[in-house]
Amino acid sequence: MNTPTKIDCHGHVSAPAELYAYKAGLLSHRGAHGRGKPHISDDQIAAALRAPNPSFGNVSHLDHLDEAGIDLQLISPRPFQMMHSETPAKLVEWFTESTNDVIARVCESEPGRFRGIAGLPQSMELAPETWAAELRRCVTDLGFVGAVLNPDPYEGTAVPPSLGDPFWYPLYEVFCELDVPAFVHSAACRPPARESYSLHFIQEETQAVIGLLQSQVFQDFPDLKVVVSHGGGAVPYQRGRFRPGPIRRPGAASFDDQLRKLWYDTCLYTQDSIELLLRSVGVDRCLFGTEKPGTGSVRDPETGRWIDDIHHLVDAIDWLDDHQRQALYRDNTVELFKLDLAGADSEGATSG
């Protein structure tokens, strides 16, 4: 079996603690002391990538990638840090912009290893046109290749419009204009709540898929590219539940065909789940994603491997041929995000 270049579409920034100290200051004075800025040196940027992290098994971000043979990772803000539901809205704007600036510096510090996925200042006190301004800045000025779209900016405190609602159209217009994908990934879930933020992710991704597919969004924006994180929430697993609807509407596309309007990452931590996703939507609609280091960066006591060692799970799928494996690990992400690999070895620069 050939070892293709591995491009991980689902990573989050390992930022210096000074970024989060800056956030704490904003929250403490609620903007009364002005915007300020986080004071972060190049050495601190480098150390955040290289220092062992107790939250991630006492291994550094770069060591996690090297051990898994990941050549390039697309990184976005840490979702639970984004505080979209905080007030006043200027706090969300300031922290989002500072986080994106840190992501840009991380990418600059490791040329060829990272690409930026923007966070958006999705305060519901602001219009989506304002969120889109930060998307435009990150793509045109910082060279980012996409942006995270949080389907629940209220973070569990109220009910937002479905992603099929025209409320979101000003943002979709800019995604299409810039020709970059929207990466659906929820942020935090504020207490009191029935669910943890990890469960909130899955519920919001499920809502996002159904909301988009039961709407006019792809008729109105045929060029819109949407990636759904964590394998599409519960939808591939429960797709049989939604098949009868289109059958009752003569001429409607089947639900299975509708699922292929979206893309999905492989950020699922069991082989059978990944296989179900691939069989449900097709290998050509899936992107290799690990979220490494993150929630799954703990060793499985039965195997000794990291739970988020998704490459081992993909490699164990015996019905994938070399062409499909390369499409999953590399080619689908390169094509969708229009990545310029700048001479990277397409046959695999590292091994894991």
Query: Could you confirm whether 205 is annotated as catalytic?
Result: no
- Residue 321 φ then ψ, to 5°: -90, 175
Q: How deeply is 181 buried, as exposed, middle or buried, from its count of CB atoms within 10 A (0-12, 13-18, 19+)?
A: buried
Distances (CA, A) of 236 to 97, 132, 277: 34, 30, 6
Contact 223, 176 (CB under 8 A): yes
Distances (CA, A) of 243 to 10, 22, 141, 252: 29, 48, 43, 11
* CA pair distance 142, 276, nearest whole angstrom: 37
Residues 6+ positions from 294 with CB-CB distance below 8 Å: 12, 56, 308
Tokens of 237: 């697993």
Of the candidates 86, 97, 134, 291, the residue annotated as catalytic is: 291
Distances (CA, A) of 111 to 46, 73, 95, 120, 342: 12, 11, 25, 24, 10
Helix axes 89-109, 128-140, angle to 10 degrees: 20
The kind and range of the H/E element at 345 are none
The Cβ of residue 232 has, within 10 Å, a number of other Cβ atoms equal to 28
* CA pair distance 292, 31, nearest whole angstrom: 33
* CA pair distance 104, 144, nearest whole angstrom: 8
DSSP 255-278: HHHHHTTSEEE---SSHHHHHHHH
Catalytic (active-site) positions: 291
